[in-house]
Amino acid sequence: MDSNVVIDFCNGRMPKNGRIFLMAVNPEISIVINFELFATKNISKEEYKLLEKFVASSIIHSINKDLVNTTIHTRQTYKIKLPDAIIAATALVYNLTLISRNSKDFDGIEGLEFINPYGL
């Protein structure tokens, strides 16, 4: 799951069909998403608590050698930003479907399954 999906879901900004879809998903996130969720300036205490609950209920995939190698390959091949390469590589290494609204960041990455919950 990408950080934009997590934040919008926790804040109630996710469209109804996207919310229904996400309620049936067991959340798994990259370690970089864990960083992104809490690195926002001016995060309210309420939002912080919601994000903490989400992270506590998620599987967080840490960095390992396979992830490093796949990230390097993904970044070199598709010329995307390092955080996006880590997110995509996490989905590839762990055979996950990436859930994000930023299709342009992940479009065309071979082997990457992608769902945009805003378009459901």
Q: For a pLDDT cut of 90, what percent of the chain falls above it?
A: 65
Looking at residue 16, what is its pLDDT? 92
Range of the domain at 52: 3-119
CATH code of 94's domain: 3.40.50.1010
- Contact between 2 and 101 (Cβ < 8 Å): yes
Question: In terms of pLDDT, which residue wins out, 42 or 90?
Answer: 90
Q: How many CB atoms lie within 10 A of CB 5?
A: 25
pLDDT at 98 over 90: yes
Query: What distance in Å separates the CA atoms of residue 41 and residue 60, rounded to the nearest whole number?
Result: 22
Q: For a pLDDT cut of 70, what percent of the chain falls above it?
A: 100
The count of structural domains within the chain is 1
Q: Is 37 exposed, middle or buried (0-12, 13-18, 19+ CB in 10 A)?
A: buried
Residue 59: CA atoms inside 13 Å, Cβ hemisphere, count? 9
